[in-house]
């Protein structure tokens, strides 16, 4: 969740968490009886397991750090993993994207068949009987059947009494189901932090269920570089990380299916989008060449891989389609974003931003696409910000300073427990607009809410008194610096692309902002601090989880897959660090306020 806090002497993990505003479920009142407060201690030392813990956890689980929060007392700084089922206030993860209408043209088609059973006068093999049924009843020439389908075929044909539905992918039979089975597809948006899954009906193109979860690899490192460093240290780690993510995808598929009363083996097609690193880790591809200059992916082309070769448990012969990557730091998730906003049909000069730990920025100019990747860091997700945390119940998401008074809004209107990306952005913008911050990003300590606390200068949003004796929430000078670097990275990406094409801010017809953070932010705040160019608000479009939408489009339409391939092949990738004026532009982009940047020089807009 990203929430940090201090705890008092002789407080259990449960008490600590509660103290800093994170609710862990506990029904029995801390007696160790209800077993609902399971947490995993990832690092740090804690008290020995109690008998009631030893009763419910296996030796292996205790070894892996699993404990009951109400029975465990920290004896040093600790990092905990809180599984979703243990938390009372689930994190907000966005799963809905732009609601473009889907025209279903699925690559996997379903054909109902009824066959004559074999007899001594009709000795055709089971597979041949299916092939000939398709030919006679649908004039389809097909001689290929997945080996796992054949392995199940004799028993299945007989148990279904020779009446069934065949799923065909091109000229290959990939599944065989009862006539009444639904025809399902699974789209997955695999992010560094979160994983979103969508279950679709391939015939209608409708989304039947959607669910998002945290990427369980987080316990191996919050950011991708930490995870890759682990893999480079030990080759087994790569397999372990792959297993962790594929297990969670299988669980996600099961959860989605059980929501609509289906089985995962009824999923006959699937699409995965993710950044290049997540793509490589899921496919068990080497990552070393990805993190050392010149940052080369193993593969950029779209891939069709048998689900079993990835470890995904869906229909026996089904494939996973991986949309094409663009470069080492621009993955298939950005291809999906470009697909969902119809990049190939865009008119005028359109910018597309997918804001995250890595922010992808694309400039679309009449079908030509130019892209850069900006290392914007974790600040937008609350990372490296003292009171920052990812969006969930009780985090401050909107802030205004009106006549020196703070007004804020928390998610679900709960008591404030921290501040998430959009709240940080608002606060910093308001600090700048009310003169608490100067254009260099320095906090002036002549404001009543600015104080020095634990050797740091901070702007207090919620004081201890205002939060009924819980820890205060504020923005420190260090927080401002972290956010400043992040916003400068994005603005630099925009400027470098404009200069590459000899354009200026005024030439931009539209800026499309994708991603969870991007869809919650106040555009005015982003303009105020110089993160986005100063343009009329109607030129901005916040589209939500466009990557997930792109994955869904590719899932239900082969035309869209071809379009994605076409888009990816048309992208000119620009390595930010090698661009002209990069350093100057970056330095100028660090300033707060409204300005233009031309050839590395800043002009104030009055």
Please count the other Cβ atoms lying within 10 Å of the Cβ belonging to residue 594: 15
In degrees, rounded to 5, the angle at the alpha carbon of residue 513 between the alpha carbons of residues 193 and 106 is 75
Based on CB atoms, which residue is closest to a second copy, 285 or 433? 285
Q: How far apart are CA 115 and CA 113, in angstroms?
A: 6
Q: How far apart are CA 510 and CA 362, in angstroms?
A: 12
Among 126, 189, 266, 479, binds a second copy (CB under 8 A): 126
The yes or no reply on residue 453 touching a second copy (CB under 8 A) is: no
Based on CB atoms, which residue is closest to a second copy, 180 or 293? 293
Q: Are 329 and 319 in contact (CB under 8 A)?
A: no
The yes or no reply on residue 158 touching a second copy (CB under 8 A) is: yes
The yes or no reply on residue 172 touching a second copy (CB under 8 A) is: no
The yes or no reply on residue 283 touching a second copy (CB under 8 A) is: yes
Provide, rounded to whole angstroms, the least separation between the CB of residue 336 and a second copy.
Answer: 18
Based on CB atoms, which residue is closest to a second copy, 154 or 435? 154
Provide, rounded to whole angstroms, the least separation between the CB of residue 263 and a second copy.
Answer: 21
Q: Are 324 and 332 in contact (CB under 8 A)?
A: yes
286-305 positions binding a second copy, by CB under 8 A:
286, 288-289, 293-301, 303, 305
The yes or no reply on residue 587 touching a second copy (CB under 8 A) is: no
The yes or no reply on residue 319 touching a second copy (CB under 8 A) is: no
Span near a second copy by CB under 8 A; candidates 20-28, 117-125, 208-216, 243-251: 117-125
Here's the x/- map for a second copy, 242-281, by CB under 8 A: it reads as ----------------------------------------
Based on CB atoms, which residue is closest to a second copy, 119 or 468? 119
Based on CB atoms, which residue is closest to a second copy, 407 or 569? 569
Q: Are 15 and 51 in contact (CB under 8 A)?
A: no
The yes or no reply on residue 203 touching a second copy (CB under 8 A) is: no
The yes or no reply on residue 309 touching a second copy (CB under 8 A) is: yes
Based on CB atoms, which residue is closest to a second copy, 330 or 343? 330
Helix axes 126-138, 147-159, angle to 10 degrees: 80
Residue 343 CA from chain centroid, whole number: 21
Please count the other Cβ atoms lying within 10 Å of the Cβ belonging to residue 43: 11
Q: How far apart are CA 359 and CA 377, in angstroms?
A: 9
Here's the x/- map for a second copy, 37-66, by CB under 8 A: it reads as ------------------------------
Half-sphere exposure (CA, 13 Å, Cβ side) for 569? 8
The yes or no reply on residue 23 touching a second copy (CB under 8 A) is: no
Backbone angles phi, psi at 442, to 5 degrees: -90, 135
Q: Where are the alpha helices (DSSP H) in 39-119?
A: 51-56, 59-63
Q: How far apart are CA 311 and CA 250, in angstroms?
A: 9
Span near a second copy by CB under 8 A; candidates 29-37, 77-85, 324-332, 591-599: 324-332
Based on CB atoms, which residue is closest to a second copy, 283 or 355? 283
Based on CB atoms, which residue is closest to a second copy, 87 or 149? 149
Based on CB atoms, which residue is closest to a second copy, 1 or 303? 303
Q: Are 387 and 418 in contact (CB under 8 A)?
A: yes
Whether residue 51 is preceded by a cis peptide bond, meaning omega within 30 degrees of 0, is: no
Q: Which helix (H) or strand (E) holds 252?
A: helix 235-259
Provide, rounded to whole angstroms, the least separation between the CB of residue 154 and a second copy.
Answer: 4
Provide, rounded to whole angstroms, the least separation between the CB of residue 148 and a second copy.
Answer: 8
Provide, rounded to whole angstroms, the least separation between the CB of residue 150 and a second copy.
Answer: 5
The yes or no reply on residue 141 touching a second copy (CB under 8 A) is: no
Here's the x/- map for a second copy, 544-583, by CB under 8 A: it reads as -----------------------------x-x--x-----
Span near a second copy by CB under 8 A; candidates 97-105, 121-129, 133-141, 360-368: 121-129
Q: How far apart are CA 604 and CA 204, in angstroms?
A: 52
The yes or no reply on residue 125 touching a second copy (CB under 8 A) is: yes
The yes or no reply on residue 151 touching a second copy (CB under 8 A) is: yes
Q: How far apart are CA 68 and CA 34, in angstroms?
A: 10
Among 90, 104, 118, 221, binds a second copy (CB under 8 A): 118
Based on CB atoms, which residue is closest to a second copy, 271 or 450? 271
Size of the site for a second copy (CB under 8 A): 46
The yes or no reply on residue 155 touching a second copy (CB under 8 A) is: yes
Long-range contacts of 24-33 (CB under 8 A, 24+ apart): 24/69, 24/82, 24/86, 24/87, 24/88, 25/85, 25/86, 25/87, 25/88, 26/69, 26/70, 28/70, 30/70, 31/70, 32/68, 32/70, 32/71
Radius of gyration of the chain from Cα atoms?
A: 27
Residue numbers of the site for a second copy (CB under 8 A)? 118-120, 122-128, 131, 143, 145, 147-148, 150-151, 153-155, 158, 283-286, 288-289, 293-301, 303, 305, 309-310, 325, 327-328, 573, 575, 578
């Amino acid at each position: 969740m990203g929430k940090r806090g201090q705890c008092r002497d002789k407080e259990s993990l449960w008490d600590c968490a509660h103290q800093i505003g994170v609710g862990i479920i506990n029904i029995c009142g801390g007696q160790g009886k209800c077993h609902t407060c399971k947490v995993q201690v990832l690092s740090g030392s804690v008290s020995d397991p109690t008998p009631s813990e030893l009763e419910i956890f296996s030796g292996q689980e205790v070894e892996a750090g699993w404990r009951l929060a109400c029975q465990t007392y920290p004896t040093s700084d600790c990092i905990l993993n809180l599984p979703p089922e243990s938390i009372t206030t689930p994190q907000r993860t966005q799963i809905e994207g732009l609601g473009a209408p889907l025209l279903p043209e699925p690559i996997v088609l379903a054909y109902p068949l009824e066959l004559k059973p074999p007899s001594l006068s009709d000795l055709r093999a089971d597979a041949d009987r299916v092939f000939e049924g398709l030919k006679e009843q649908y004039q389809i020439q097909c001689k290929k059947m997945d080996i796992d389908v054949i392995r199940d075929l004799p028993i299945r044909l007989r148990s279904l009494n020779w009446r069934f539905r065949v799923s065909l992918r091109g000229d290959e039979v990939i599944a065989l189901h009862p006539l009444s089975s639904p025809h399902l597809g699974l789209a997955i948006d695999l992010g560094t932090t979160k994983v979103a899954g969508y279950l679709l009906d391939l015939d209608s193109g409708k989304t039947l269920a959607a669910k998002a979860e945290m990427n369980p690899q987080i316990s191996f490192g919050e950011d991708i570089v930490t995870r890759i460093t682990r893999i480079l240290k030990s080759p087994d780690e790569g397999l372990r990380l792959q297993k962790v993510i594929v297990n969670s995808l299988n669980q996600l598929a099961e959860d989605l299916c059980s929501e609509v009363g289906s089985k995962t083996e009824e999923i006959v097609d699937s699409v995965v989008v993710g950044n290049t690193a997540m793509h490589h880790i899921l496919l068990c591809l080497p990552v070393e060449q990805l993190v050392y200059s010149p940052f080369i992916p193993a593969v950029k082309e779209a891939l069709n891989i048998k689900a079993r070769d990835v470890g995904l448990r869906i229909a026996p012969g089904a494939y996973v389609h991986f949309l094409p990557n663009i470069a080492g730091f621009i993955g298939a998730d950005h291809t999906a974003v470009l697909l969902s906003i119809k990049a190939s049909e865009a008119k005028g000069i359109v910018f597309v931003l997918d804001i995250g730990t890595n922010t992808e920025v694309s400039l679309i100019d009449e079908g030509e696409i130019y892209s850069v990747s900006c290392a914007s860091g974790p600040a937008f997700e609350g990372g490296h910000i003292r009171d920052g945390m990812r969006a969930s119940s009780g985090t401050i998401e909107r802030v205004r300073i009106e006549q020196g008074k703070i007004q804020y809004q928390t998610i679900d209107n709960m008591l404030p427990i921290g501040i998430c990306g959009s709240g940080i952005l608002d606060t910093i913008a308001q600090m700048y607009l009310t003169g608490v911050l100067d254009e260099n990003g320095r906090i002036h300590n002549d404001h009543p809410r600015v104080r020095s606390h634990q050797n740091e200068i901070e702007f207090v949003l919620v004081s201890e008194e205002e939060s009924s004796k819980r820890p205060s929430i504020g923005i420190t000078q260090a927080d401002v610096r972290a956010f400043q670097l992040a916003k400068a990275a994005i603005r630099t990406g925009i400027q470098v692309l404009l200069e590459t094409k000899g354009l200026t801010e005024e030439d931009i017809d539209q800026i499309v902002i994708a991603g969870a953070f991007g869809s919650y932010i106040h555009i005015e705040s982003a303009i105020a601090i110089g993160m986005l160019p100063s343009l009329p608000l109607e030129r901005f479009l916040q589209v939500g989880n466009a990557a997930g939408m792109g994955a869904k489009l590719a899932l239900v339409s082969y035309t869209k897959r071809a379009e994605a391939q076409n888009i990816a092949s048309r992208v000119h990738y620009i390595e930010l660090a090698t661009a002209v004026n990069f350093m100057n532009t970056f330095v100028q982009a660090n300033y707060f306020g409204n300005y233009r940047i031309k050839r590395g020089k800043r002009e104030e807009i009055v």
